[in-house]
Structure formats: C-alpha cells, structure tokens
Amino acid sequence: MAKFSNIVLVGFMGTGKTSVGGLVAARSGFKFIDMDDVIQRRTGKTIPVIFSEDGEPKFRSLERALVRELSELSGQVIAAGGGIVLNPDNIADFERTGLVVCLLASAEVILKRTASDTGRPLLAGEGKMDKIIRLLEARKKLYERIPHHIDTTDLSVEEVANGIMSLFGRGMTPMSIL
Ligand code: S3P
C-alpha cells in the first residue's frame, strides 16, 4: 500500500505548481486537480472577480472548504493556490494522507513567469516586483514549515517532476513495490 494517497504542491505564485502538477499526474497515474480551476468552475467567476466582488476572505473560505473536501479523497495530484499556507489547518489536513511538497523560486524568476499574467489579483497593477518581494517575505516562514522543498529557479518542469516522483517513491512501502 502506498504511504501517500495524494501529492499536494504548494508554494508561491509562479513556482510551477500547475505545470509540474500536470506532469506528475501523468507519471503517477493520479488525477490532476488545480484548486483555483475548481473554485472558478464552481463559482462561475474568475479569481480576480471573486476577489473584487466577494473579497479575499470569501476566497480563503472557498479554499478552506475545498481543502477539507479534497483531503478526504485519494489518487490526486493537487496544485494548491499560493495562499493555502495562510491557514495552517489546510496544511495539516493535506499532510494527514498526502505528500506535501513546497516549490520555491527566486523573486526574479517569479516575476518573469507571472509577467504577462492578469489572473492573479495580489500581483495586479503597478510595482509587481515589490509586491512579490513583500508577499514572499510575509509568507517565508509559512512555506519554510513544509518539510519537503524543491527550488525550481534553475530547473525544468521535467526535473522538478523527477524530484517529486523520487520523494513519492520513497514513501512507498516495500509491499507496494512488489
Ligand atoms: C494566490 C495565489 C493564486 C490564487 C490567488 C491567490 C495567493 O494561485 O489562488 O490569486 O494568495 O498566493 P497560484 O499560486 O496558483 O497562482
């Protein structure tokens, strides 16, 4: 039996959760779930519209409810939103059955990866680099609390996926390999 029922990717915006998650899902045979996509589909609103019409606290409560739901299921690779660490209960729920891996990247690379993006309200408008630096600093300790980290700054999507699959493989008991 596998030790982990799910693989959960957390980390700041632009650290590669969605692209890496898709590849890890293909390799593990797990189903890929992007939490932001699920929230957008269910509410019929984009993330920026949820933030502007309903406010960030509403978005965080939608996220919280979805974490509770997903952590009861298995066989999923979950790309969580970057702010999932703001509520430690989210991480505790995911860690009960999942391998939780935090992806990291330098502020410069995050800026590059999110440059043409308009779907992230916390980085919208002028002064994107300042916003990235400030948010990274504010959340640093929360991301650091997660035991598994992969710095994606200089890695390809394939290399990051390999790292995750190797962590996942180490979580298998000998029985599950037979
Ligand atoms: C957020 C990250 C976003 C999205 C929302 C808030 C955050 O997800 O959930 O814009 O607080 O860091 P990604 O990390 O997938 O961009």
Closest residue by CA, ligand 1 atom 2: 82
Q: How far is CA 52 from the centre of its chain?
A: 22
Closest residue by CA, ligand 1 atom 15: 81
d(CA 101, CA 98) in angstroms, rounded, equals: 9
d(CA 4, CA 71) in angstroms, rounded, equals: 11
- pTM for the model: 0.94
d(CA 102, CA 63) in angstroms, rounded, equals: 17
Q: How many angstroms separate the Cα of 81 from the Cα of each of 3, 13, 103?
A: 24, 8, 12
DSSP-H helix ranges across 11-150: 17-28, 35-43, 47-49, 56-70, 88-97, 107-114, 128-144
CA of 16 to the centre of ligand 1 (A): 12
Topology of domain 6-165, per CATH? Rossmann fold (3.40.50)
pLDDT tens readout for residues 30-67: 999 999 999 999 999 999 999 999 999 999 999 999 99
pLDDT tens readout for residues 59-89: 999 999 999 999 999 999 999 999 999 999 9
Tell me which of 9, 10, 12, 13 to substitute to probe ligand 1's pocket, judged by most ligand atoms within 8 Å of the beta carbon. Answer: 13
Tell me which of 120, 139, 140 to substitute to probe ligand 1's pocket, judged by most ligand atoms within 8 Å of the beta carbon. Answer: 120
